[in-house]
Amino acid sequence: MAGELTGAETQQEKSPWQGRLPFFYGWIIVAIAFMMSFMTAGVGWSTSVIAVPMREDLGWSLSSIYLGLTLRGLVGAGSMFVLGRFADLKHGARSLAIVSGGLSAVTLITVSQVESHWQFLLLYGVLGGMTQAGTGFLILSAVVPRWFFRKRGRAIAMATMGSGAAAFILPPVMAFIFEYVGWRGTWVALGTMTAVFTMLPAFLVWRQPEDIGLVPDGKIEPIPANRAAAVQHVRNYTMSEAVRSSVMWVLVLAVAAASLSPNGVPASLVPMYIDKGHTTQIAALGFSIYGLFSMLARFFWGFLAERHHIRTVTVAIGVFTGLVMPLLIFLAGYPALFYSALAGFGIGGFIGTQALVWPAYFGRTHLGAIVGVSRPFATVVNASGPLLMAQSFDRTGSYSFGLWCMGVSWLLCAAAMFFARPQRQVDPSQQAARAQEAG
């Protein structure tokens, strides 16, 4: 008995420390993804606070500063083509996150010393854009889904909460810091926070649980019958197999179409409410309502995604949000504020579930490379949303055209997802048997 006990204790001592925690290590990965999405989105929100004093001090136009934000997003989209496959290497995601977090922090701190517009575009737009994939999208889309199977919906929902939390927390914090250290010191503070929230946590990132002797969800459990439609094993497609599949490009169309609103609508909410005669304070309240329901929606749709296939859930989100988008055209007075809740509920649901699409159709093994190919299309469309809304107002005097376009884009997403038939599912025991026979 003593010998058996000693052997068991020796085996426990040899197991990785991640496996001896009182909870599943995957939740630490979720927390890291939350922090990274918090800072990746927060840099954009914070820029809107710093832009006004920069304009006044340097004599730049507001459009020239926002050009850097657009450039940052477009460069980030392009970098995913190259960097996506690194997330599939054993230490690739960790190394990429560490380097990207460090480079992002350095560029933001260096922005505090700019005097010329080209310097700002180079540091903030080009170099900063190259860090976008490593500090946000790839960890969220290519690492978190590998750590969970049955609980993937709630894990993604929690991880994506970082971007919503950033909208609430960082702008007022940056405004407070600005009062004491000016806009240059605020950039330094933002860069320091980026190092703390991205580069340092990245040292704890692991690609998947199998790399440290664990399994997804922490343990293998039988799948309940009422959740079998959502939780099924999928054959692991390589990137070349995925891009040759017609369903891949139908999914790219669906996700890209839905990506028009998540940036365009919230960026235009305050101006739209003011255009309807509301005060700035009421318009700001409308934005806060949007943010609150955007965060709450991620749990609702995330739990649905654990019980139904992501195809069904995304169709539902697309139809719901497509009907909601033009409603603000017909609402007036205080009832118009309900639009924020409905829009946040739909858009937040998409933000919280879009990362579930790719593992549900193509498996986990080559997820980084597949996301690296698919995500840039959605990023470019996302970056064009605010411009579409601004052009709608500048050319027609209202936001109606832009809102109708947003509605159509969601219905296009729903239609594309409806035709994106799930790939053939596989029994993991049969897959293992075939692999053994082949060996």
pLDDT tens per residue across span 153-163: 888 888 888 88
C-alpha 37/C-alpha 48 separation (Å) is 17
* Segment 417-427, tens digit of pLDDT: 999 988 665 54
User: Taking 90 as the threshold, does the pLDDT of residue 400 lie above it?
Assistant: yes
Q: Residue 232 — left, alpha, or beta (φ > 0 → left; ψ -120 to 50 → alpha)? A: beta
Q: Is residue 95 over pLDDT 60?
A: yes
18-208, CATH topology level: Growth Hormone; Chain: A; (1.20.1250)
Helical (H) or strand (E) element with 183: helix 152-194
Q: Residues 231-253: pLDDT tens digits?
A: 556 788 888 898 899 999 999 99
Whether residue 283 has pLDDT greater than 60: yes
pLDDT at 14 (0 to 100):
61
pLDDT of 21: 87
CA dist 304 and 118 (Å) reads 47
Q: Cα separations (Å) of 122 from 71, 114, 118, 137?
A: 9, 10, 6, 22
Question: CA separation (Å) from 417 to 254, 256, 258, 424?
Answer: 6, 11, 11, 16
What lies within 8 Å, CB to CB, of 255 at 6+ separation is 354, 357, 374, 377, 378, 413
pLDDT value of residue 429? 44
CA-closest candidate to residue 139, choices 191, 94, 99, 105: 94
- In this prediction, residue 428 has a pLDDT band, given cuts at 50, 70 and 90, of very low
DSSP 421: P
Whether the pLDDT of residue 29 is over 70: the answer is yes
Check residue 223 and give left, alpha or beta (phi > 0: left; psi -120 to 50: alpha): beta
Under DSSP, is residue 425 helix (H, G, I), strand (E, B) or coil?
strand
Coil, strand or helix: which one is 399?
A: coil
Question: CATH 1.20.1250.20 occupies which residues in the chain?
Answer: 18-208, 232-425
Spatial contact of 270 and 140, defined as CB atoms under 8 Å apart: no
pLDDT value of position 189: 94
Q: Quick one: CATH architecture of 232-425?
A: Up-down Bundle (1.20)
Where do runs of H (alpha helix) occur along 276-366?
280-305, 310-324, 338-353, 357-362
Name the pLDDT band for 13 (thresholds 50, 70, 90): low
Q: Is the pLDDT of residue 385 over 80?
A: yes
pTM exceeding the 0.85 threshold for the entire prediction: no
CB distance 305 to 356 below 8 Å: yes
- How far apart, in whole angstroms, are the C-alpha atoms of residue 41 and residue 396? 31
The C-alpha R_g of the chain, in whole angstroms, comes to 23
Please give the Cα distance from 278 to 333 (Å, whole number). 8
CA 157/CA 356 separation, integer angstroms = 10
Distance CA(21)–CA(31), nearest Å, equals: 15
Which of the four pLDDT bands, split at 50, 70 and 90, describes residue 439? very low
Convert the pLDDT of each residue in 136-151 to its tens digit: 777 877 888 889 888 8
| pLDDT reported for residue 415 | 97
The pLDDT score that the predictor gives to residue 204 is: 93
Average pLDDT, the chain: 83
pLDDT (tens digit per residue) in 291-308: 888 888 988 998 898 889
Q: Mean pLDDT, to the nearest integer, of 76-104?
A: 84
